[in-house]
Amino acid sequence: MAVLGQGKYRLIIFDWDGTLMDSADRIAFCMQRAAEDAKVDIPTSDEVKEIIGLGLPEAIKKLMPLVEDASALEVENNYRHHFVNNHERSADFFEGALKTLEELKERGFLLAVATGKSRKGLNREFEKHQVGHYFVETRCADETRSKPDPTMLNEILKSTNCVREEALIIGDTEYDMDMGRQAGIDRIGVTYGVHSKGRLEAYEPKVCLDAINELIPWLVNSLEC
């Protein structure tokens, strides 16, 4: 097995929701219940999916710009409650995601996560699915700046001793692509998440993949070119 991590790219940074985890329906359902409990206008599922990837306060502000601060905070707290306790909508990894992480690690890549989730939320996912060992570094929206600000990527680069030319950011939203472009990091879009291929391509990714299991063949091909 070729040690691809000795090629141009050493560090692969993944978005979480919509890229590794098929959680859009769960997020939309919980946000709708949160709004209903707070007695504010309930957004549509498509409207909620539009803001997936942002930090929770930033997402609610964008989703509900006319809602007063106190009500927005109530929605935020309600959402956290529903996401932890709801069992009506499940979420699991996209097909091929875990196998891809395992093979990337075996091939010598450093793997990281840059997510709009909270630290508590990401740690909960790591514990539930026993996947924390794949990643050498993670950054969450509540411990740095929310996407598309590039701060979390710059922090990951610094902590892993990688330069931007050695890194890839992989995500399903224009927030991921914009963050990567601002950080000067090569980008890969995935089309099976919440934003369309056309929107991702506006940020000039190296490629847009239709399935996560296309990543390693692309990396092999890029090494040979």
Q: What is the pLDDT of residues 142-172, one digit of tens each?
A: 999 999 999 999 999 999 999 999 999 999 9
Residue 105, pLDDT score? 96
The first and second tokens of residue 116, run together, are 């709009």
Distance of CA 38 to the CA centre of its chain: 27
pLDDT tens per residue across span 187-205: 999 999 999 999 999 999 9
Beta bridge partners of residue 14, listed in sequence order: 113, 170
Phi (first) and psi of residue 17, to 5 degrees: -70, 125
What ranges do the domains of the chain cover?
4-22+92-224, 24-85
The first and second tokens of residue 94, run together, are 């996209």
Rounded to whole angstroms, what are the CA distances from 123 to 63, 104, 106, 130, 134? 25, 21, 23, 10, 13
4-22+92-224 CATH fold: Rossmann fold (3.40.50)
What letter does residue 52 receive in the DSSP assignment?
Answer: B
Residue 7, pLDDT score? 66
24-85 CATH fold: DNA polymerase; domain 1 (1.10.150)
Residue 57, pLDDT score? 95
User: In angstroms, rounded to a whole number, what is the distance separating the alpha carbons of residues 106 and 2?
Assistant: 9
Whether the domain at 4-22+92-224 and the domain at 24-85 fall into the same CATH topology: no
pTM of the model: 0.93
